[in-house]
Structure 1
Amino acid sequence: MSNENQSFHKSMSLLDATMLVAGSMIGSGIFIVSADIARNTGSAGWMMLVWLICGFMTLTAALSYGELSAMFPKAGGQYVYLREAYNPLVSFVFGWTFFAVIQTATIAAVGVAFAKFTAYLFPWLDEDVYLLVLGDYRISSAQLLAIGVIVVLTAINSRGINSGKRVQTTLTLIKILSLLLLILFGFLAFKYEIWNANWMTADLWHLRRLHLDGSFEEYSTFGAFGAVSAALVGALFSSDSWHSSSSVAGEIKNPQRNIGLSLALGTLIVTAIYLLTNLMYTTVLDLHQMVNAPKDRVAMSAAQEIFGPFGITIIAVMIMISTFGCNNGIILAGARVYYSMAQDGLFFKKAGTLNRNSVPAYALWIQCVVSCLWCLSGKYGDLLDMITCVVVVFYVLAVAGVIRLRYTRPALPRPYKAFGYPFLPVIYILMGLAFIVLMLIYKPDYTVPGVLIALAGIPIFYVINKKNKQHV
């Protein structure tokens, strides 16, 4: 039951908002993507540099978003920033892509990741256990478990912001503590021969491709740039959703202060944990072990070296907690974007209403439906590769919006100003553009379809706009 007179409850503290940021960022990526980064870079030095670049980009963008969030402390976050900095068309294209693929496919992928690692404890839930086979189309028990998790988390969040924030804050604190303990035990299991093989070598900063058989392949000058960009895809995906607290601005206490602070603190915490985790990997695994980790699950291989056979169970439980909490944060934040779109007349009207618990329940459930459809499609993994480039396009636009608004709307109150302005925002824009161009050149099969999905939003915007004018 919805009530158009309802308003958001400001019940999220700085801790809740920070845990929303950190919890939405930490999913399954940190446990997996280092294998692909090691393959693309071929050295421990370059692997860590990729994570440093990713951390710098994420933190720089978060600091810029701090200014935007203080200027526009409204539900919807990035959608609102793009609308205010540019125009409704730009913000709608973002909102459309966000709903069609970015958020919903991510929810599906994280849900399936939860199911895959649950299967370590309960093998009958594995993705290879098929419950329905119709020709080439198959539905596995993992897909159904993913759907079940998405439905449960949507139901929890439809009960009010307090329900969602309790789950988020509790699980995020647990997984941060778990990761810190894993890092600690990893360093305690320090292996000198492994460390020397990774770090005390003349090839520490030799960028090249490492094959599964242990052989290396040299890159051309331009190929090296493409390799770093390819390596960044996994790191950036693992650090995505860092802007989650900006989407729930209407429910955060003292939003002008706490949104920017939560973005900075959340990204800083996760960046530090990611760097320490990867450094820990290099103390117990050499590069060949990383690239040959079964199904790229580097954390599993590291845990086996640290804890023995029981390590697999430890990591499985950690990833289950991590992905469950990650999905809760993504589900909670995503619905507020659709709410803002509906308020502008650019989404289903009901999505712009709040239920008796003061949350956009209709937006939550329509997001749930699309996410479940992605689970059933089995194509979520491919789509995530496709939209990584597009995600960075919108980040670059939003950060550029900070500079644009300084000139076009200088009189707007700015309770917080972007740290390092204009140098850090400009550096981020240049790095983001370089990443986008290199991805379009070296991975067109993945990036071009993502761009086309985003561009499909342009004619849809004009159709909706025309209908809105006819009803005025």
Structure 2
Amino acid sequence: MDEENLRKRKINTEAKNGNLALDKMESRGIKDKEPEHMALQQQVGLLSGISLIVGTMIGSGIFISPKAVLSNTGAVGPCLIIWAACGVLATLGALCYADLGTMITKSGGEYAYLLEAFGPIPAFLYSWMCILVSKPSSFAIICLSFAEYAAAPFYPGCVPPQIVIKCLAAVAIILITSLNSVSVKLAYYVQNFLTVAKLLIVAVIIVAGIVLIAQGNTQNFENSFNGAKISFGSIGLAFYNGLWSYDGWNQLNFITEELKNPYRNLPLAIIIGIPLVTVCYILVNVAYFTIMTPAELLQSSAVAVTFGDRVLTPASWVVPLFVVFSTFGAANGSCFTAGRLTFATAREGHMVKILSYINVRRLTPSPALIFNGILAIIYIIPADINTLISFFSFASWIFYGLTTLSLIVMRFTRKELKRPVKVPIVFPILVTLVAIYLVLAPIIDAPDMAYLYCSLFIAGGIIFYVLFIYYHFSWTRKLMKPITKHLQLFLEVAPAETGQ
């Protein structure tokens, strides 16, 4: 009872500050239904952790656009090497993140580690870029891919109208956001199911490829390095496109506070999940080359569908159906982790306070999830957002490099921290050097204004930080106070307790 009274006193204090109208919420029947602790719960086990990694990494990329890697390498041999190297890099990066995640057991991924190692400004700049643009635009791109495949059966022989694709993508965003806002368990049950579905279609493609190789379809692997075009910049661009398909290797670190036994399950999920995806990607690409020449693969708009039409007839409809499952699962995983990043950032005072609140009934960070969903819907409006992939791959690897650098720095500056998982220091050094290469290579080889725009956007976050975070302009607090109060009543949310 003492703990319960203490909790109510805390909430009442927030109410006096205009952050929670407790009496109104109680009159709506929330009082008797509040859980014991207003905090995110440890509900994600090892299997769900692996499903989140695999389900987020295997999205639309491996089914639709492996040709981008081939176009930048020019031959089958270098293409397969790049796919394998991307898997090794993702694994090394994820192991570095496992070290960080078990040392600093806070949700928020890179944000929490940059804050600990370098202070608030680098952490804020990461959240500024990621929350406002990178995460919601990635969510939007995946949902657009989902919409294209979901609408295709209703428009046989032609491309679905853009308005149909965008409306369907918006519906997917609303559905996924609602799903994650309602229940953590329901969200990862759906994630587990969709992960099994996408692994099933990957297995079908791999088995078909093995059968074709056994039948002697190996002509595309002969002289596999002929015609290769290797340069400083082309390798970087090939890595960008390969790593886009591997994107998600760091997703588990965004939900560290919700992992059961994170010291065991975080590294174990990484060690199992990412090598599994790497093997799948290499074998799927091998399967593609058993039936398509490099020129045919480059001409295909959806490689997996072309493969299905040639190999799986009359059951070729299975491929687009499971691509729909795959993209929906990737979007679900992206939404799940993006909400946690926004929640963690707002909890540190780097975003508006309402985004750090959680639903008093369901213990989900619903304001953060809804905010991410609204931004994603905005990002589906432009006619073409494919250029965002290179744009934000560039930005992401700036912060990936800074994050692995933070691990090196904290080995010397924070020796007192407990390190249940301690990787050899050569791992973060190698990943940091590769990150520097991936940031500089495309700029040196093929300068583009998009990289300048990206850099200016990140730097622009400093102005916002100084004005609204560092100096705490009083008029912004006065403006947000009534808005926060009414949003709390509408969304039925309250501040999360800390120190659990």
- For normalisation by structure 2, the TM-score amounts to 0.84
Q: CA–CA distance in 2 between the matches of 1:430 and 1:240?
A: 19
Contact kept in structure 1, 2:152 and 2:159, CA below 8 Å: no
Contact kept in structure 1, 2:467 and 2:473, CA below 8 Å: no
Matches within 5 A, 1:223-302: 224-293=231-300, 295=301, 297-302=302-307
Q: CA–CA distance in 2 between the matches of 1:456 and 1:199?
A: 48
Q: How many residues align?
A: 442
Equivalence for 1:367:
372
Equivalence for 1:93:
125
Equivalence for 1:400:
405
Equivalence for 2:204:
181
Matched, 1:47 2:79: yes
Which of these residues, 340, 359, 364, is aligned with residue 344 of structure 2?
Answer: 340
Matches within 5 A, 1:62-77: 62-77=94-109
- Stretch moving more, 422-431 or 10-19: 422-431
Equivalence for 1:381:
386
Matched, 1:204 2:225: yes
Equivalence for 1:134:
none
CA RMSD of aligned residues (A): 2.2
Structure 2 unaligned spans of 5+ = 1-24, 479-500
- The one-letter amino acid of 2:335's match is I
Instruction: Tell me the secondary structure at the aligned position of residue 207 of structure 1.
Output: coil
Matched, 1:145 2:148: no
- The alignment-based identity, stated in percent, is 26
Structure 1 unaligned spans of 5+ = 131-139, 209-218
Which of these residues, 451, 455, 461, is aligned with residue 447 of structure 1?
Answer: 451
- The one-letter amino acid of 1:70's match is T
Matched, 1:29 2:61: yes
Instruction: Tell me the secondary structure at the aligned position of residue 386 of structure 2.
Output: helix
- Stretch moving more, 241-250 or 260-269: 260-269
Q: Which of these two proteins has the greater Rg computed from alpha carbons?
A: 2
Give the superposition deviation at 1:205.
5.7
| Residue 455 to residue 263, structure 1, CA distance change in 2 (3 Å) | farther
Give the superposition deviation at 1:62.
0.3
Q: CA–CA distance in 2 between the matches of 1:152 and 1:126?
A: 27
Instruction: Tell me the secondary structure at the aligned position of residue 76 of structure 1.
Output: coil
Which of these residues, 12, 17, 24, is aligned with residue 44 of structure 2?
Answer: 12
Instruction: Tell me the secondary structure at the aligned position of residue 142 of structure 1.
Output: helix
Give the superposition deviation at 1:283.
1.4
Instruction: Tell me the secondary structure at the aligned position of residue 354 of structure 1.
Output: strand
Q: CA–CA distance in 1 between the matches of 2:128 and 2:242?
A: 24
Q: CA–CA distance in 2 between the matches of 1:93 and 1:309?
A: 51
Give the superposition deviation at 1:186.
2.4
Q: CA–CA distance in 2 between the matches of 1:288 and 1:191?
A: 23
Contact kept in structure 1, 2:181 and 2:369, CA below 8 Å: yes
Contact kept in structure 2, 1:70 and 1:414, CA below 8 Å: yes
Contact kept in structure 2, 1:119 and 1:126, CA below 8 Å: no
Give the superposition deviation at 1:16.
0.4
Contact kept in structure 2, 1:248 and 1:333, CA below 8 Å: yes
Which of these residues, 426, 429, 441, is aligned with residue 426 of structure 1?
Answer: 429
